[in-house]
A and B are shown apart, each in its own frame.
Chain A
Amino acid sequence: AQSVTQPDIHITVSEGASLELRCNYSYGATPYLFWYVQSPGQGLQLLLKYFSGDTLVQGIKGFEAEFKRSQSSFNLRKPSVHWSDAAEYFCAVASRGSARQLTFGSGTQLTVLP
């Protein structure tokens, strides 16, 4: 069974600082990989996804993520965090079957200090 681990429950960074959110997955083959963001009281918005090809993927709002097969990781990065980035971030993996069942990590809550 596939699983996702986000080892950091809560991260605090200062505005303008760089950010890296960690994600490790367990899956028999290369899955589809996603990062979603959730603001308080809102649904989930897709930041970026990896299906194949270039292992460095660019997303919305200046985020990027790098797929490292050898480490089973898909870490999310942003060079300069803005106060509006404060939210909860979820990493997810999906099987390559006919129904894209997503398995989510438990999330990382990001706080941005002024």
Chain B
Amino acid sequence: NAGVTQTPKFQVLKTGQSMTLQCAQDMNHNSMYWYRQDPGMGLRLIYYSASEGTTDKGEVPNGYNVSRLNKREFSLRLESAAPSQTSVYFCASSDQLSGNTIYFGEGSWLTVV
């Protein structure tokens, strides 16, 4: 019963390096999301994908790109990492068939030095 799976769980990057966070869900959900969590700020939406083939910016999209590879997978890419992108990243998914509930992965801890 995997649900939403994110990799890697932990990553340290140097400023300017690039990396991709992977996310996959096995619940056949249409919508997928990427959030970042910072102390005292709750979770903020970076990008979302309402359905396969579509992506849209959320509240804090600068410095990120996303790809909805297929219905299951939604990746988040940092092209040139900055210390301000040190955060915990959460992938999530939802669907009307899930009662419109949004399910979260366990998070990816990213540190940019």
The 8 Å CB contact of B50, one of A9, A92, A98, is: A98
Report the count of interface residues on A (CB-CB < 8 A).
24
Binary B-proximity of A80-114 (CB < 8 A = 1, otherwise 0): 00000000001010100011111111110000000
Number of contact residues on B: which range applies? 20 to 34
The verdict on B70 contacting chain A, using a C-beta distance below 8 Å, is: no
* Residues 13-65 of A contacting B (Cβ, < 8 Å): 32, 34, 36, 42-44, 46, 49, 51
Query: Across the A-B interface, how many residue pairs have beta carbons closer than 8 Å?
Result: 62
| Sample (23) of A-B pairs whose CB atoms are under 8 Å apart | A32-B100, A34-B101, A42-B106, A43-B90, A43-B105, A43-B106, A43-B107, A44-B104, A46-B102, A49-B101, A98-B31, A98-B50, A99-B50, A100-B31, A100-B100, A101-B45, A101-B58, A102-B33, A102-B45, A102-B102, A104-B43, A106-B40, A107-B42
